[in-house]
Amino acid sequence: GENVEQHPSTLSVQEGDSAVIKCTYSDSASNYFPWYKQELGKRPQLIIDIRSNVGEKKDQRIAVTLNKTAKHFSLHITETQPEDSAVYFCAATVANFGNEKLTFGTGTRLTIIP
Binding site for another protein (CB under 8 A): 32, 34, 36, 41-46, 49, 51, 89, 93, 95, 97-107
Distance between CA atoms of 88 and 8, rounded to whole angstroms?
10
**CB of residue 79 to another protein, shortest distance in Å:** 25
**CB of residue 106 to another protein, shortest distance in Å:** 5
Burial class (CB in 10 A: 0-12, 13-18, 19+), 25: buried
Q: Which of 107, 104, 80 is nearest to 92 (CA)?
A: 104
**CB of residue 55 to another protein, shortest distance in Å:** 18
When the beta carbons of 21 and 105 are compared against another protein, the nearer one is 105
